[in-house]
């Protein structure tokens, strides 16, 4: 039995510049993100021949099929095809948070599944290979409109500055602040569940079709990622600076597509700001999932109370230094 554990992620700057429509036409895209201590677990084990089905899958649905070609779940089907695995298998998934919530869940699942399947096959592969192959499966094989940042963030873990170049190469620069207090600034973020999930592809499809019009905005957002990286590495950052940068980024991001935000989300955001939050954003592509707000410790209680009155629960996430990992059990 193989169990993989793969973190989810929060992106702080540059989101949208990791789409091929941008980085292939503007030299590179850049994103600063952190893995968080919420995970997707994938269990892979041999399936006994006493069962009628060749493959059994337990995720949000249950599938019992005779071969991988019959699998409805596209990521599982294409990962098995990619690795040429046709064994009798039982695959189960467990997630700490709902899918389609803006924290990179589909990419985390794809990376974690590949990692578990490689281990099941007896192979150990690098984080870079897992990220590259997971991105290939989702973007190229499945043809999804999405960026590449999530695959790398969940494969590597930690806080990183990624660059995605027009020739499809990727560079990873771990962000190493000079002290733990600087790290803590990244986790001055409160996350409020918006009680709504959304298909990121629907949001990103509109954004993707407007990539030429959006290019000046995305170039500014790319520079924000660089600015955040420099401030964190130098230690010259405060909660105020961090919150202001996220607020500026959110103001720009809302202009990329009409479905990134709605009136009720904007009203909730301003409610948090009136209660003392400095700035923030909706995680991922937008339109639902988690509202992330940067808040000083002394204002956190008031911000949580204000949004609780509106019916939205607040959560805190910590950083995760490790990327995808596997545990083999006999």
pLDDT score of 70: 96
Q: What is the pLDDT of residues 8-17, one digit of tens each?
A: 999 999 999 9
> Taking each helix axis from N to C terminus, what angle separates 105-121 and 74-82, rounded to the nearest 10 degrees?
30
pLDDT score of 330: 61
Written as six digits, the tokens of 75 are 């990521």
pLDDT score of 328: 75
Residue 178 banded pLDDT, cuts 50, 70, 90? confident
- Considering the chain, tell me which residue range(s) the CATH 3.30.230.10 domain(s) occupy: 2-176+320-328
- Residue linked to tokens 């499966």: 137
pTM value is: 0.94
On the question of pLDDT at 307 being above 80, the answer is yes
Bridge partners for 42 per DSSP: 4, 93
Answer whether 297's CB lies under 8 Å from 240's CB: no
Q: What is the dihedral of CA 228, 193, 322, 31, to 10 degrees?
A: -30
Answer whether 147's CB lies under 8 Å from 15's CB: yes
Q: What is the pLDDT of residues 16-40, one digit of tens each?
A: 999 999 999 999 999 999 999 999 9
pLDDT score of 209: 81
Write the DSSP symbol of residue 47. Answer: P
* More confident of the two residues 176 and 88: 88
Answer whether 63's CB lies under 8 Å from 10's CB: no
Answer whether 124's CB lies under 8 Å from 160's CB: no
Answer whether 161's CB lies under 8 Å from 33's CB: no
The CATH code belonging to domain 180-316 is 3.30.70.890
Query: Which helix or strand (DSSP H or E) is residue 150 part of?
Result: helix 149-156
Please name which of 154, 157, 152, 184 lies closest in space to residue 169, comparing C-alpha atoms: 152
Distances in whole angstroms, Cα of residue 279 to Cα of each of 25, 93, 176, 197, 295: 30, 34, 23, 22, 8
On the question of pLDDT at 150 being above 90, the answer is yes
Q: What is the pLDDT of residues 263-296, one digit of tens each?
A: 999 999 999 999 999 999 999 877 889 999 999 9
Q: Centre a 10 Å sphere on the Cβ of residue 69 and count the other Cβ atoms it contains.
A: 10
On the question of pLDDT at 88 being above 80, the answer is yes
pLDDT, mean of residues 125-152: 96
**How does the average pLDDT of the chain come out, rounded?**
93
Q: Which of 129-138, 182-191, 287-296, 297-306 is predicted least confidently?
A: 182-191
pLDDT score of 314: 93
Residue 188 banded pLDDT, cuts 50, 70, 90? confident
Written as six digits, the tokens of 323 are 């990327």
On the question of pLDDT at 80 being above 80, the answer is yes
pLDDT, mean of residues 88-102: 93
On the question of pLDDT at 145 being above 70, the answer is yes
| pLDDT-above-70 percentage for the chain | 99
On the question of pLDDT at 147 being above 80, the answer is yes
- Considering the chain, tell me which residue range(s) the CATH 3.30.70.890 domain(s) occupy: 180-316
Q: Tell whether domain 2-176+320-328 is in CATH 3.30.230.10.
A: yes
pLDDT, mean of residues 299-323: 94
């Amino acid at each position: 039995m193989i169990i993989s554990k793969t973190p989810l992620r929060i992106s702080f700057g540059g989101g949208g510049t990791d789409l091929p429509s941008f980085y292939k036409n503007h030299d590179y895209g850049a994103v600063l993100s952190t893995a968080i201590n919420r995970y997707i677990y994938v269990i892979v084990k041999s399936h006994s021949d006493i069962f009628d089905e060749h493959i059994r899958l337990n995720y949000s649905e249950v599938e019992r099929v005779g071969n991988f070609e019959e699998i409805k779940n596209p990521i599982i089907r294409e990962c098995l095809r990619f690795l040429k695995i046709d064994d009798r298998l039982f695959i189960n998934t467990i997630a700490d948070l709902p899918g389609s919530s803006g924290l990179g869940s589909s990419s985390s699942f794809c990376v974690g599944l590949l990692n578990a399947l490689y281990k099941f096959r007896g192979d150990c592969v690098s984080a870079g290979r897992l990220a590259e192959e997971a991105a290939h499966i989702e973007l190229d094989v499945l043809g999804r409109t999405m960026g590449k940042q999530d695959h790398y963030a969940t494969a590597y873990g930690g806080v990183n500055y990624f660059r995605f170049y027009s020739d499809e190469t990727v560079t990873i620069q771990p962000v190493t602040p000079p002290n733990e207090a600087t790290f803590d600034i990244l986790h001055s973020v409160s996350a409020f569940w918006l009680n709504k999930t959304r298909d990121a592809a629907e949001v990103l499809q509109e954004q993707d079709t407007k990539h030429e019009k959006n290019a000046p905005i995305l170039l500014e957002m790319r520079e924000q990622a660089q600015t955040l990286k420099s401030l964190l590495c130098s230690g010259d950052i405060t909660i105020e600076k961090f919150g202001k940068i996220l607020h500026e980024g959110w103001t720009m991001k809302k202009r990329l597509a009409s479905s990134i935000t709605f009136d009720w989300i904007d009203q909730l955001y301003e409610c948090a700001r009136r209660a003392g939050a400095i700035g923030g954003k909706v995680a991922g592509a937008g339109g639902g999932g988690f509202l992330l707000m940067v808040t000083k410790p002394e204002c956190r209680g008031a911000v949580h109370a204000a949004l609780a009155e509106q019916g939205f629960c607040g959560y805190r996430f910590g950083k995760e230094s490790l990327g995808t990992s596997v545990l083999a059990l006999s």
